[in-house]
Amino acid sequence: MNILIVGSGGREHSLAWKIKQSPKVKEIYIAPGNGGTASLGQNIPVSVDDIPGLVALAREKNIGLVVVGPELPLVLGLSDALDRENIPCFGPGAYAAQLEGSKAFSKFLMAEAEVPTAGFKVFEDFALAEEYLKARDYPLVVKADGLAAGKGVVVATDFAEAREALHDMMVKQVFGKAGETVVIEDALQGEEASFLAFCDGHDYLLLPSSQDHKRIGENDTGPNTGGMGAYSPAPVLPQEKYEETAHQVIRPIIQHLAEMGRPFKGILYAGLMFTQYGPKVLEYNVRFGDPECQPLLMRLESDLVEIMLACVEQRLKDVTLKIRPEAGVCVVLSADGYPKQYKKGHVITGIDEAEKDSLVKVFHAGTSFDGSNILTSGGRVLGVTALGQNLQEAISRCYTAADRINFQGMYMRRDIGQKGLEKT
Ligand code: AMP
Ligand code: GLY
């Protein structure tokens, strides 16, 4: 069958790379894709928020499965629109996608489904929210309800900081409509991990644990980014705890949505914090994490297309996941200045040398191909991903490969995976 992948990041390159290995696949189209996906299929310049354009493309190319990378098209109803045309889509409908698209919706659903999460209140009125902030102890967390490109969460250490965040969101409307409603949450403490599951609406299959590195600087300092690296498994969530944890954070949501007649098909991603009171859900995402997807897919032995079709056709209970025993690590190479202003258009060298090791794969994120050179075209440029017998070996292999790559202003964190090493 022909497959359409929606998105343009490192996640989508790794999806295309894994999907290409399936004997079920004829042609791969990527909308809009990047310099890496161009070598695996055909990039088509339709943007991820152009729902009618994506549906038309799927019809025109006789697509047998649409695989959606980012959350935006799901929140905008791409899965529902494809459903109306009888085109199978891996990714939930707009209702269930509110788990990511609206933090208030997500918290209310968690409360109804009795999922462990931080205490919270939802406000639509600035004055009432401000009064609440005055009465509370700190730290407190202020969150814009809607999608805010990962910038809508402020962990405030005092009233002044919390009020400023609230004012930015509700009065200055720096996130537009996304900040009209805010969620104010108790602050939790602990280590974070990502826990992802394939879901067919009723059953689920767990992927191994992983951990992202959101801050730009080493030792988790500086501003938040889209993610500077990831590794799997994350010892903070060991394999012997997967089932128990899934019963707390995955199963109740899947069951609750099924009972509401809104079955969740796709990837459910629980962002967890391991507190002294056990795991709590910080957020749900309705898609693969980026960069968690890269090491996870390198560790996945099973045919990804077969699993995705089982999700869409609701027959996941007949499928098992084969995972390679090796650890996986992804180090993101970013452009100088990211996550603020950065330059584009620099020539990238050394990717082929980095990939000479068969356990290394360089996934493109912000790149383009000008016919002869691969150029930088985004903030997160490449995700160098490697497997190893253990985490230490995977980390060493990853950095050896990363050091073979070069472009002007290249930056990477040197401590990806260290937290996992300290635990093993
Ligand atoms: P979110 O987009 O909800 O995952 O929030 C982004 C980041 O903010 C998380 O990865 C945490 O580091 C932090 N965060 C979110 N909620 C809380 C909370 N209730 N307590 C402490 N930190 C939080
Ligand atoms: N890596 C975090 C995310 O994809 O949201």
CB distance 234 to 193 below 8 Å: yes
> Tell me, what's the pLDDT at 371?
87
One domain for residues 175 and 222: no
Point out the residues of the chain with pLDDT beneath 50: none
Q: Residue 132's domain is classified under what CATH number?
A: 3.30.1490.20
Q: How far is the CA of 267 from the centre of ligand 1 (A)?
A: 20
Kindly list the distances between the CA atom of residue 166 and the CA atoms of 72, 131, 138, in Å, as whole numbers in the listed order.
24, 11, 15
> Tell me, what's the pLDDT at 304?
98
Q: How far apart are CA 78 and CA 72, in angstroms?
A: 9
In a domain, 12, yes or no: yes
Calculate the average pLDDT of the chain. 97
Q: How far is the CA of 282 from the centre of ligand 1 (A)?
A: 6
| Domain total in the chain | 3
Burial of residue 243 (CB within 10 Å: 0-12, 13-18, 19+) is exposed
User: Rg of the chain's alpha carbons, rounded to an integer?
Assistant: 21
One domain for residues 220 and 317: yes
Q: How far apart are CA 62 and CA 42, in angstroms?
A: 14
> Tell me, what's the pLDDT at 358?
97
In a domain, 118, yes or no: no
Ligand nearest to the CA of 211: 2
The whole-model pTM stands at: 0.97
Ligand 2 pocket check: which of 74, 103, 225, 292 to mutate, most ligand atoms within 8 Å of Cβ?
292
One domain for residues 275 and 297: yes
In a domain, 205, yes or no: yes
Q: How many Cβ atoms are within 10 Å of 296's Cβ, its own excluded? A: 28
Tens of pLDDT, residues 71-100: 999 999 999 999 999 999 999 999 999 999
| Ligand 2 atom closest to residue 11's alpha carbon, by position in its atom list | 4
- Residue 67: domain span: 2-93
In a domain, 150, yes or no: yes
